[in-house]
Amino acid sequence: MNRMSVPASGAPRAKPGVAALADQCVMCGLCLPHCPTYRLERTEAESPRGRIALARALAEGRLAPDAAAVAHLDHCLGCLSCQKVCPSQVRYDDLLVQTRAALVAAAPPSRLRRWLHAPRRLRALAWFGAAVHAPRWLPRLARLLPRGSRWRRIGETVPAAPRRRAIAAPPAPATGCAIALFRGCVGSVYEADTLAAARTLLEAAGHRVIEVDHHCCGALSRHGGFVDDAAREAAATREALLGTHAEVVLGCSSGCHGDLRDEVAAGTPLAAPDIHAFLAADAAFAALRFRPLQCRAALHLPCTQVNVAGALAAIRALLARVPQLVVLELPEQPRCCGAAGSYFIEHPSFADRLRAEKLDQAVTLEPDLLLTTNIGCRIHLGNGLRERGGAPPVVHPLALLAAQLDAGAPT
């Protein structure tokens, strides 16, 4: 794959205001069965249609931003399953972000929420937690706090930072693309194994991999309504990426992909494809061989992978390269596991109910591994499985592929 075969990202699209976006909705209700919170609550205010009506009323000044209205909007996971099935193609993602931004501007959010949507602080906290081995003792300490406390949830859900495994696969001569590997603010700490795997796979296919120092695409801030912070993070990452003179930027987490593509790389010469799509289309990668693995792997496709990044066929094709691996996809409904960025910390009741449905599906399949492409889903599902006992490991598909790469096979 060369520069000409990887299209550069398009220019940023114009974003109409909330009222104009709401006008596109014809109130048909086709989205309702696909909304996770509507499925749980069966109330109009917990549906996309109800939230669009709330957003319009707030934007037009017909409704004050009281606690009830804000809660219904905050309960939205931003999974975009509604947007995917909308016959009117309402840009629900833009409407939700703009509405949350207006609410943030109107009333300062809590200190906890500011922390959860401040990626640099989160990353520093994650590094500190890893340094003091917090996963060994913090969950026990957190259980002294009242049930339902968000601080208890934070303490209970601190994952162990995986080691950055050195995978024995010598890089091929660099004849392919210059690729900037985006690590992410949370992923740089908690997905070191996945990032090492991605580097191994890309270098084995002859690509030159450049790791980027700046870690944030702005997604966490933007989805929380902190749009100015998100724009600053995206601009800083864009500058760092352009300074590498890479042709392509790739990230491992589906939760970062949309902002990396639409907010960071848009309007630049950088191409920002999904990493699975890139590998599946790469001729040099197609020549690599993988060792057999007798294993049942349950595949969870995150909302951001299905509704934003796409490349589902590419993920399936890559996993099919591993002989004897049996891949069992979790059913589509319920799609969302409840992670949704910082949602599983801010709204543990909703998040845990959604996770329970997804874990019931996974356990029924009796897998040896659970695969997912999003760091938030990996943490949330992994914690849920550990609570149930006897949990299978939760890993990224790229980590599985890199572990099975046959470095000695002829190409």
Q: Alpha-carbon distance 256 to 396, whole Å?
A: 15
The DSSP element (H or E) to which 380 belongs, if any, is helix 375-388
Residue pointed to by tokens 């993602």: 93
* Exposed/middle/buried for residue 391 (C-beta within 10 Å: 0-12, 13-18, 19+): middle
pLDDT 10s digits, 116-135: 777 666 666 666 666 666 66
Alpha carbons within 13 angstroms on the beta-carbon side of residue 279 total 29
- Give the per-residue pLDDT at 219: 94
* Domain CATH for 319: 3.40.50
Looking at 108, 131, 152, which one is the last position of a domain? 108
Gyration radius of the chain over CA positions:
21
Asked if the model's pLDDT at residue 42 lies above 90, the reply is: yes
174 within a domain of the structure (yes/no): no
| Residue 162 counted as domain residue | no
Domain that holds residue 78: 18-108
Looking at 65, 92, 108, the residue that finishes a domain is 108
The answer to pTM > 0.85 is yes
- Out of 108, 126, 150, pick the residue that ends a domain: 108
Label residue 300 exposed, middle or buried (CB < 10 Å: 0-12, 13-18, 19+).
buried
pLDDT by residue (tens digit) across 356-401?
999 999 999 999 999 999 999 999 999 899 888 867 999 999 999 9
Would residue 126 count as lying in a domain? no
For residue 311, being part of any structural domain is answered with yes
154 lies in a domain?
Answer: no
Number of compact structural domains in the chain = 2
pLDDT in tens, 184-239: 988 887 888 999 999 999 999 999 999 887 789 999 999 999 999 999 999 999 99
Determine, yes or no, domain membership for 125.
Answer: no
